[in-house]
């Protein structure tokens, strides 16, 4: 179950607009747009960097997972997402190797992509996502 590339690196932020300004105008990255994911409790913004992207995540409300993360660890790096060809097969492969899963089966994330998270207890504290892009990105 090969990992093809880093799909995105996600960063938890408190003020999406300020951070968009930094990534777009200070770093000069290519802004790809933003999206509100109500069911995940986040507003996101994407920037293309070569073959991968940076994803900013701002919590929509105080009980969202991103808000809890920021309260505990502060704003900053949140997760790394790896692109895989067959998400369920990759999850099964991880489970067979003793890795705990947050998501035992794929769910729909931003851009309609299929995503699933591995449990950070099994990944030495680095929240790790597997991602299968669906169509247009
Ligand atoms: Co992600």
* pLDDT tens, per residue, the chain with 137 residues: 689 899 999 999 999 999 999 999 999 999 999 999 888 899 999 999 999 999 999 999 988 889 999 999 999 999 999 999 999 999 999 999 999 999 999 998 877 889 999 999 999 999 999 999 886 44
pTM of the model: 0.90
**What is the predicted pLDDT for the residue at 134?**
82
Query: 10 Å Cβ neighbour count for 59?
Result: 22
Between the CA of 124 and the centroid of ligand 1 the distance, in Å, is: 18
Q: How far is CA 40 from CA 51, 96, 137, in A?
A: 25, 28, 19
Query: What pairing do the DSSP bridges indicate for beta strands 114-118 and 52-59?
Result: unpaired
Between the CA of 92 and the centroid of ligand 1 the distance, in Å, is: 19
**What is the predicted pLDDT for the residue at 135?**
65
- Find the angle CA(80)-CA(86)-CA(89) to the nearest 5 degrees: 95
Between the CA of 58 and the centroid of ligand 1 the distance, in Å, is: 12
With b for 16 or more beta-carbon neighbours within 10 A and e for fewer, the 97-131 pattern comes to eeeebbeeebeebbbebbbbbbeeebbeeebbbbb
Phi-psi region at 108: left, alpha or beta (left = phi > 0; alpha = psi -120 to 50): beta
Between the CA of 99 and the centroid of ligand 1 the distance, in Å, is: 19
**What is the predicted pLDDT for the residue at 137?**
45
Between the CA of 22 and the centroid of ligand 1 the distance, in Å, is: 20
The Cα diameter of the chain in Å comes to 45
Query: 10 Å Cβ neighbour count for 35?
Result: 14
């Amino acid at each position: 179950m090969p990992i093809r590339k880093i799909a995105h690196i996600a960063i938890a932020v408190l003020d999406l607009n300020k951070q968009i300004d930094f990534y777009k105008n200070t770093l000069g990255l290519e802004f790809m747009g933003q999206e509100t994911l109500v069911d995940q409790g986040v507003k996101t913004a994407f920037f293309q960097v070569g073959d991968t992207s940076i994803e900013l995540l701002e919590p929509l409300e105080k009980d969202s997972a991103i808000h809890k993360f920021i309260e505990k660890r502060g704003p900053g790096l949140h997760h790394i997402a790896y692109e895989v060809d067959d998400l369920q097969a990759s999850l099964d492969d991880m489970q067979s190797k003793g890795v705990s899963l947050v998501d035992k089966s794929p769910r729909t994330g931003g851009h309609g992509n299929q995503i699933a998270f591995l449990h950070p207890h099994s990944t030495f504290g680095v929240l790790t996502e597997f991602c299968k892009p669906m169509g247009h990105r």
